Amino acid sequence: PQYDYDFHMDIFRATHNDLLVRLVTPFYMMSRTRRDVFFKNQSRCKVSHRQHLSMYEAVASRARQRAMDLMSAHIGRVERYFR
C-alpha cells in the first residue's frame, strides 16, 4: 500500500499543481485502510504494479491520452472493487 500511495502522490506532485496535491493528500491519508484491504490480495498487487508501470511509461513518453486512459482504468478497477 505504501508504494501505491507513493506512486500516486509522485504523479500528483509531477503536475506542479500545489492545489491538486493539497486536495488529494487528505483523501489518500483517509483511504489508507481501503488500500490495506485491497492490497491484501497478491494478484491485485501484481495487476496494480503492471498498471503503474504502463502509466509511468505513458507519462514518460508524453502519451497524454494513453496515460489518462490507463489512469481511468486503474482507478475504475478499485472503484468497482469497493462497490
> Per residue in 66-75, pLDDT tens?
999 999 999 8
CB neighbour list of residue 34: distance below 8 Å, 6 or more residues apart:
82
What's the rounded Cα separation, in Å, for the pair 70 and 12? Answer: 15
Q: How many residues does the chain have?
A: 83
> Per residue in 16-49, pLDDT tens?
999 999 999 999 889 889 889 999 999 999 999 9
> pLDDT at position 83, please?
87
What's the rounded Cα separation, in Å, for the pair 74 and 80? Answer: 10
Average pLDDT over residues 47-76: 95
> pLDDT at position 64, please?
94
What's the rounded Cα separation, in Å, for the pair 42 and 58? Answer: 24
**13: which 3 cell numbers?**
506532485
